Amino acid sequence: MLNKVATFDIRPVTTPVDNEMFLDVPHRVYLNDRHWVPPIRSSIAKYFLPTNTFLEYGKLQQFIALSHEVKGSGAVGRIVAAVNQRLIDREGEKVGLFGFFECIQDNTVAQALLDAACNWLREQGMTKVRGPIDLSTHNNCLFLVDGFDSPPALMMPYNPPYYPEFMERDGWQKAIDAYAYNFALDKPLPPEFEKAYRIACKSGVNFRPVRTKGKTFEEDAKNIYKLFNRTFANNWSSTPRTEAEFMEEAKDLQSLVDPDLFPIAEYNGEMIGFWMGLPDYNIALKHVNGKLDWLGILKFLWYRRQIKQGRVLVMCSLPEYRRKMVPLALIYLGMQGGRLKGKPYKRAELGYVYEDNSPSRKLIEAAGGKIYKTYRIYEKAL
């Protein structure tokens, strides 16, 4: 942890040098944090390129906090203010976003960063601000507020325990909480889940692994996109992605998929549900220091052999097929896939699930999932 800084400036990111300092901030904040997994630097940098499709329907402004006392780049904090027009159109309210927040343990710096973001959003005509959300809830969002004793799973947020304190001191209110669930794979599911799978099969539902090669992968990915949009159209603070945006993300994950953790449900040839599980690659990514250059790739390939847990990103089923037991059957197949002979998985994390998503939470908890991390998004009137 760094000492508090007495003098600093908040300034917008306007040059390539500013942007490099912006990208450097997390390495200062998490210098001695044994749980932090550095994100791939290029994956963060791409959000601020002119080619980012977000800029077709939104706008953003990066800010950095520069200390007059710290050696090196001097950047001790960062934030992004964003206007997502799709979200405004959906909610009918001038709500702006803040995200990409990182800051040393200095409340004065944190409040100045939050003030800079809020002032910029006021200038854009916003009347409310919500975050942390990195441009969209399809990207990184939420602050961890409970469960700091273990590293984050793949594609899950992580932050120091003092971030929620910043928000409370600055008068932010809770907008919504979300949970991550822990599953121990050494315990069998209740018999109702296997029974549900057999009922679903007898009802004419077909189950198969996701396909990961060539045109069949693209076909599955496009159908997953359509199903995702139908099922999660009314998710809180969410807006639909374009097919091109979704396919770009899918291709990034294509080589990482374990088909045994990714069952798909079909009925009369139509995709009606899926369980999206992946190996928890954060265990390997922790060792590459945010860079997938040739050395980083070698380290990733070496340490991926140590992966012994899975990460469930999404459980999805069309509502009209729930009576055919499709959700329970998908849980059964996804969990059984992690238990197959030769698989290394000892546990799995499922998350995140919003606190008001009672149907999903009941299923997850009936399957043995236990809440072990809590996350929060905050709001404030401007």
How much is the mean pLDDT over the chain?
91
Q: Average of pLDDT values for 323-332?
A: 92
pLDDT confidence of residue 71: 61
Banded pLDDT at 1 (limits 50, 70, 90): very low
Say whether pLDDT at 233 is over 80.
Answer: no
Same fold, 8-141 and 183-374: yes
Q: Which amino acid is at 290?
A: G
Of 3.30.2420.10, 3.40.630.30, 3.40.640.10, 2.10.240.10, the CATH number of 183-374 is 3.40.630.30
Angstrom distances, CA of residue 199 to CA of 192, 193, 263, 269: 10, 10, 16, 18
Angstrom distances, CA of residue 119 to CA of 15, 129, 316: 21, 10, 39
Where in the chain are the domains?
8-141, 183-374
pTM listed for this prediction: 0.92
Say whether pLDDT at 251 is over 90.
Answer: no
Ramachandran class of 128: left when φ > 0, alpha when ψ lies in -120 to 50, beta otherwise: beta
Of 3.40.190.10, 1.20.1050.10, 3.40.630.30, 3.50.50.60, the CATH number of 8-141 is 3.40.630.30
pLDDT above 70 as % of the chain: 97
pLDDT confidence of residue 70: 65
Tens digit of each residue's pLDDT (9 = 90 or more) over 201-231: 999 999 999 999 989 999 999 999 999 888 8
Q: Average of pLDDT values for 133-149?
A: 94
Q: Retrieve residue 342's tokens.
A: 């030769």
Tens digit of each residue's pLDDT (9 = 90 or more) over 339-379: 888 888 999 999 899 999 998 999 999 999 999 999 999 99
Q: Which amino acid is at 14?
A: T
C-beta of residue 330 within 8 angstroms of C-beta of residue 273: yes
Banded pLDDT at 7 (limits 50, 70, 90): confident
Tens digit of each residue's pLDDT (9 = 90 or more) over 27-38: 999 999 999 999
What is the Cα–Cα distance from 93 to 325, expressed in whole angstroms?
38
